[in-house]
Amino acid sequence: MKSKINSRLVGIAVLAIIATAMAITIIYYSLFQKQVRADLSISAKLLKDTHFFESANSDTDDIRLSTHFEELRVSWIAADGTVLYDNDASAETLANHMDRPEVHDAFENGIGESVRRSDTMNKNTYYYAVLLDNGTVLRVATQAQSLWAVTKSVFPVMALIILVIIAICVALSHLLTKQLLRPIENMAANLDNSNYTAPYKELEPFSEMLRSQHMDILSAAKARQDFTANVSHELKTPLTAISGYAELLEGDMVAEDGRKHFYQEIRKNSERLLALINDIINLSNLDRMTGRTEMEELDLYETVLECSEALKINAGQRDVDISFDGEPVKMRGNRNMLKELVENLAQNAIMYNNQGGKVTVTVKNENGRAKLIVRDNGIGIPASEQQRIFERFYRVDKSRSKATGGTGLGLAIVKHIVELHDAKLELDSAPGLGTTITVSF
């Protein structure tokens, strides 16, 4: 980026310098031309005012201009265009001058002017002609360098100046780029520093966005680390138990009638492990699905009823009454995920309930929008814990969750599924009274 800005700045500077040099050359050249013409007209008028040519007789061989003008050619032309005198060539050898525009104009209007390129490519000849009182024309001419020649002659100096300016520009642009980018570099270095304010007002939104993305990345990394640590810990507990029980059995350290308990413990812990692994796989699948969940047109009430049999059995085992009611409501969703959602919510309502408790699962059609309500009159959740129960592995009562086979991941999965369906999750709970969880699609 630095070298790009640098080279662009230098490029702009070089263009500007070359354009300026060209413009200055052209302006000076036109001033120079103007000056040459002015000088020429003065010379012509001065010569006219001397009345030297009017008084000269027709024998022009007598004419001797006291000074030999190297730079000034003087011609005297008769009314018919014949050259009577020329200080540069013998007049007789010269052709009739009536066809020269400046001579022609002088006869017509009193004065005439023109510029012609000389044979020597690099020079232009400037002519100025005046009509004398006796009807003849006096013409003066001088040669001056053409624009090309002027440019060529100043080129070495100009090139040197341009090179020096370019060198200065390169150094300055290097400095400027460094200065310009330093705040951005500082900003990148200060991503972790929440007190750091962007040096330019225009950079503030960019800096804010970078910082919040940086924080997101950091917190995602931390969440992943925590999750891995938690998973290892959660897996270790049942495995340690299984291994311990198996060892006791293997070493014949358990009396015949006590063995059944250990077999049961091994089975329970294995089931816990399986449930955990299932939930972890589910969660990681949901993580991968973000943004590309396969959705289909389905009826939410129908989907809920598909889970009812298994839930009823579960509730029966815990002496909890579960009922399903509602109305058909169409929505777009992922059937398997929605079933997982219903099962997790209803499972919790059964698990964290009292003997003889009640659970109702309701599906509503509110203005064409589907709504799922899972209500129980169980133990409830204290207000202080309500925010945290959707975190992975968070449990209000660890021993109860573990005793009932909970993994601490159920509500994290629920939250994920709700997000993938762009739905809203509401929790209303009071300890001792029960819990109502509403999902509005």
First to last CA, the chain: 47
Tokens for 140? 């003066």
User: 138 and 132 in contact (C-beta within 8 Å)?
Assistant: yes
Smallest distance from ligand ADP to CB 177, Å:
54
Give whichever of 337 and 389 is closer to ligand ADP, judged by the CB atom: 389
Contacts (CB under 6 A) with ligand ADP, residues 354-393: 376, 378-381, 389
Choose among 308, 325, 311: nearest CA to 362.
325
Tell which one of 395, 416, 421, 438 touches ligand ADP (CB under 6 A). Answer: 395
Give whichever of 25 and 386 is closer to ligand ADP, judged by the CB atom: 386
Residue 166 to residue 10: CA distance in whole angstroms: 7
What's 182-207 look like in SS3?
Answer: HHHHHHHHCCCCCCCCCCCHHHHHHH
Give whichever of 105 and 343 is closer to ligand ADP, judged by the CB atom: 343
Give whichever of 107 and 352 is closer to ligand ADP, judged by the CB atom: 352
Tokens for 221? 């990394």
Smallest distance from ligand ADP to CB 381, Å:
5
Give whichever of 177 and 377 is closer to ligand ADP, judged by the CB atom: 377
Smallest distance from ligand ADP to CB 358, Å:
12
User: 97 and 155 in contact (C-beta within 8 Å)?
Assistant: no
User: 137 and 107 in contact (C-beta within 8 Å)?
Assistant: yes
Number of chain positions touching ligand ADP (CB under 6 A): 22
Torsion of CA 210, 215, 216, 222, to 10 degrees: 150
Choose among 112, 118, 87, 88: nearest CA to 100.
112
Give whichever of 146 and 377 is closer to ligand ADP, judged by the CB atom: 377
The DSSP element (H or E) to which 419 belongs, if any, is helix 410-420
Residue 98 to residue 113: CA distance in whole angstroms: 14
Contacts (CB under 6 A) with ligand ADP, residues 320-359: 348-349, 352
Smallest distance from ligand ADP to CB 282, Å:
12
Smallest distance from ligand ADP to CB 335, Å:
21
**Residue 162 carries which side chain, given as an amino acid letter?**
I
Smallest distance from ligand ADP to CB 244, Å:
23
Smallest distance from ligand ADP to CB 266, Å:
21
The residue sitting closest to ligand ADP, measured at its beta carbon, is 410
The DSSP element (H or E) to which 171 belongs, if any, is helix 147-189
Contacts (CB under 6 A) with ligand ADP, residues 268-307: none
The DSSP letter of residue 96 is: P
Give whichever of 41 and 354 is closer to ligand ADP, judged by the CB atom: 354
Give whichever of 48 and 416 is closer to ligand ADP, judged by the CB atom: 416
39: contact with ligand ADP by CB under 6 A: no
3 state DSSP class of 288: helix
Contacts (CB under 6 A) with ligand ADP, residues 396-425: 396-397, 401, 406-412
Residue 281 to residue 241: CA distance in whole angstroms: 23
Q: Report DSSP letters for 372-418, one per residue.
A: EEEEE-SS---HHHHTGGGSTT--SSHHHHHHTT--S-HHHHHHHHH
Smallest distance from ligand ADP to CB 269, Å:
15
For ligand ADP, which stretch binds (CB under 6 A), given 94-102, 212-220, 312-320, 394-402? 394-402
Give whichever of 150 and 345 is closer to ligand ADP, judged by the CB atom: 345
Smallest distance from ligand ADP to CB 428, Å:
11
Give whichever of 137 and 341 is closer to ligand ADP, judged by the CB atom: 341
Smallest distance from ligand ADP to CB 413, Å:
8
Residues that bind ligand ADP (CB under 6 A): 348-349, 352, 376, 378-381, 389, 394-397, 401, 406-412, 435
